Amino acid sequence: MVLWLEAELAVGAPDGFLAGARRTAVDPKPIRRQAEALLSGRNSRRRGWSDDVPAVDEDGVAALIDKARPFLEAGDGRNALAILEPVTEALVPAWLEQADWDETLHEFFPVLGQLIAEAVLMSDLAPGERDDLMARLDVWQGELDGYGLDDHLQVAIDALEQGWDEIGLADVMAGRGRTWPLSGQGDWIMERLTEARLRVLDIGGRAEEFLNLARAAGRHGDHAAMLVRLARVAEAAAYARKQFRSAEEVLLLSQVLKEAGQIDEALELAEWGLTLKAEEDRPYGIVGLARWLRDCAAALARREPALTAAGAAFEHSLSLDDFRAAETLAGPEWTAMRARLLAKLAAAKHAHDRTEIFLNEGRIDEAVRSVDVENVLRNPSNTVLMRLAEAAHASHPDWVIDVCERMAVNVMDSGQAGFYELAAQWLEKAVLAYDAAGRFDDWIERIDKLIEKHRRKHKLKPLLQALRPGA
């Protein structure tokens, strides 16, 4: 409690607490002591992975780091650094001690690197201060490199080294350059540094420089979102239609427009986004956009875009949930829409929910044809297949007999005692199919052989005997 209170007072008292006591500079020493306590496990009630290793209070560490964010939002990089530096200084040795078994603690390093970069870019550090911090960050990054955390703090080092003086940057921010970086090629560290610079320009109210840098760096979503915040909505929409290539970008800007009260523009942009070609390896970008438009338009009683989006969501996901959502919205138009969606489902190469949808729609032939028997045999708990076996026992008796017996045999022959009741349920479906096919004598012969084969399995044998007529 003492360490926590010292850290709270070092950062600055909340409004109304200790009225009139406002610190002009954050004292880093209490921050360092609190960070060390949190990282040592002294402040944690959780148990560690062993009795010898106390649990680090990661929630407490995250909360301590977050105390720098209000200073960053206020453009006060110095006080933000007074929090971020001691936390990093305490975290590096603490992490090195448990690097071999750490699962999540290392995730703080890229966060700290990014926030330190922002703080540096908005601070008027003297050359000596800059060199001293860069030297310490170099040492910390070097220690992390030895454990595979390459470049986690590098963005902060680059921010100190390059600042705003990188060749060509001033021209780009002034609108005299079309590409950033000048070479046209950058890596993930350069992207993180650009992100930090944009954040600082945004916080500082330097909107035009933000727009110029975002456009040159290809951060089109950031550029368009800033235009919306500047109430240049038509310009933002036109820019998006010219530059956006992914549904994810469209979704983010549509959400920004909606939050800004620009409902019509948000829906129109989202509808346009549905016309973008979905990437084969990332189809869920379109799905996310379509679901957002469907739900948003439906809530606003915009029926036409809601139906368009509902159809697009299913056509790209082929999921049962999206099929049902489309049915709910379609109303009297469902008959025609249903036929179109089912045709899309039938033509698709892969569809996880295909069998269940066809079964629910009473399309037993299509459901049976959709089953990859060799694949489903691995899962005796497949409730959809069991439902299909019951529904298809009269129309496809031979198929049901084959599938159900193979499912049951897999369980019985492998001795999976926990699934014996399931095996019996599969055989119950097979009985129905034998009866429907007029092959009841074949079933009696089959069950007798199974009883004899598994006579020593005391949990299974009574289940099989119960399936014999006259038992």
| pLDDT tens sequence across 86-112 | 999 999 999 999 888 888 999 999 999
Q: Which residues pair with 282 in a beta bridge?
A: 279
Query: What pLDDT is attached to residue 45?
Result: 39
**DSSP string of 429-454?**
HHHHHHHHTT-HHHHHHHHHHHHHHT
Give pTM, 2 decimals: 0.84
Q: How far is CA 318 from CA 278, 291, 386, in A?
A: 14, 13, 21
Query: What pLDDT is attached to residue 47?
Result: 40
Between the two ends of the chain, the Cα-to-Cα distance in Å is: 72
Query: What pLDDT is attached to residue 281?
Result: 54
Residue spans of the chain under pLDDT 50: 13-22, 43-51, 53
Query: What pLDDT is attached to residue 26?
Result: 93
Q: How does 30-50 read in b/e, with b if 16+ C-beta sit within 10 Å?
A: bbbbbbbbbbebebbeeeeee
- Cα separation of 229 and 414, whole Å? 64
Q: How many CA atoms lie within 13 A of 426 on its CB side?
A: 27
**DSSP string of 263-322?**
HHHHHHHHHHHTTSPPBTTBTHHHHHHHHHHHHHHHHTT-HHHHHHHHHHHHHHH--HHH
Round the average pLDDT of the chain to a whole number and report it. 91
| pLDDT tens sequence across 46-88 | 444 444 545 789 999 999 999 999 999 999 999 999 999 999 9
